[in-house]
Amino acid sequence: QVQLKESGPGLVKPSETLSLTCTVSGFSLTSYHVSWVRQPPGKGLEWMGVIWGDGSTAYNSALKSRLSISRDTSKSQVFLKMSSLKTEDTATYYCAGILRYWGQGVMVTVSS
Amino acid sequence: DVVLTQTPPTLSATIGQSVSISCRSSQSLLHSNGNTYLNWLLQRPGQPPQLLIYLVSRLESGVPNRFSGSGSGTDFTLKISGVEAEDLGVYYCVQSTHAPWTFGGGTKLELK
């Protein structure tokens, strides 16, 4: 059974860096891609980026300068780091395996 | 970046009614490998998205066959043949042919 679970701080201050972890089970990170998708309250889905099975990455053009996605295959974990946070980065952050398997999401509020 | 335009933004339907959602792309989603990576997701209230359709018309395992996808190039359609109460929520198209991937703005299906 495939499971993905996001974890990280619920509250981050403006200008700080957000670090999230997606822990995966039943799913090979070296075989399949994992994306990060976010959703501001009451709004639509925004694709943030992907890490492919070979470890290469691609990012949303608007977030590229602030965003980094990496992984630790030995721990079956995918990481998201986004710097220079703004209040408009307040959202629920999801990780998704091949868009088929989704975590429940983690709500992140950016506020001082 | 590819822009996906979904219409209508809101759809009111009665139980048993058949409905269609359009997703139009700003450029062809045909990949050089011959596949078209256009997917449809449903997000029920308070839930993460779930994959309904991938590669334009392939039904995800466990998804009822009242859902169907069609289209090619830049024009795609999701059809629900006989809406049921559990189908209510927001539908998104998402393309993964071109990096960065992009989502449509969503179509909210509600009961009339």
DSSP state of B101: P
CA B103 to chain centre: 10
Q: Place B112 in a pLDDT band, splitting at 50, 70 and 90.
A: confident
pLDDT value at position A36? Answer: 98
Nearest CA to CA, how far is B98 from chain A (Å)?
A: 10
Cα A81–Cα A84–Cα A89 angle in degrees, nearest 5: 75
Whole-angstrom Cα distance, residue A7 to residue B94? 25
Residue B54 contacts residue B36 (beta carbons within 8 Å): no
Inter-chain touch B96–A99, beta carbons under 8 Å: yes
* Nearby residues of B31 by Cβ (< 8 Å), 6 or more positions away: B37, B97
CB contacts, 8 Å: B43 with chain A: 45
Residue A96 contacts residue A37 (beta carbons within 8 Å): yes
End-to-end CA distance of chain A: 39
CA A15 to chain centre: 18
- The string of pLDDT tens digits covering residues B64-106 is 999 999 999 999 999 999 999 999 999 999 999 999 999 999 9
Q: Quick check: bond before B8 cis, omega within 30?
A: yes
B101 touches chain A (CB under 8 A): yes
Whole-angstrom Cα distance, residue B23 to residue B6? 4
- The torsion of the CA quartet A103, A109, B2, B5, rounded to 10 degrees, works out to 90
The residue of B2, B51, B56 whose CB has the most chain A CBs within 10 angstroms, and thus the best one to mutate to test that interface, is: B51
Q: Is a pLDDT exceeding 90 seen at residue B107?
A: yes
3-state SS, one letter per residue, for B38-99: EEEEEECCCCCCEEEEECCCEECCCCCCCEEEEEECCEEEEEEECCCHHHCEEEEEEECCCC
Burial of A29 (0-12, 13-18, 19+ CB in 10 A): buried
- The string of pLDDT tens digits covering residues B13-66 is 999 999 999 999 999 999 999 999 999 999 999 999 999 999 999 999 999 999
Closest-CA residue to A35 (of A101, A108, A107, A82): A101
Residues of chain A with pLDDT under 50: none
Q: How many CB pairs under 8 A join A and B?
A: 49
CB burial string A63-80: b at 16+ within 10 A, e below: beebbebebeeeebbbbb
Whole-angstrom Cα distance, residue B28 to residue B11? 26
Whole-angstrom Cα distance, residue A1 to residue A97? 13
CB contacts, 8 Å: B39 with chain A: 99
Secondary structure class of A43 (helix, strand, coil): coil
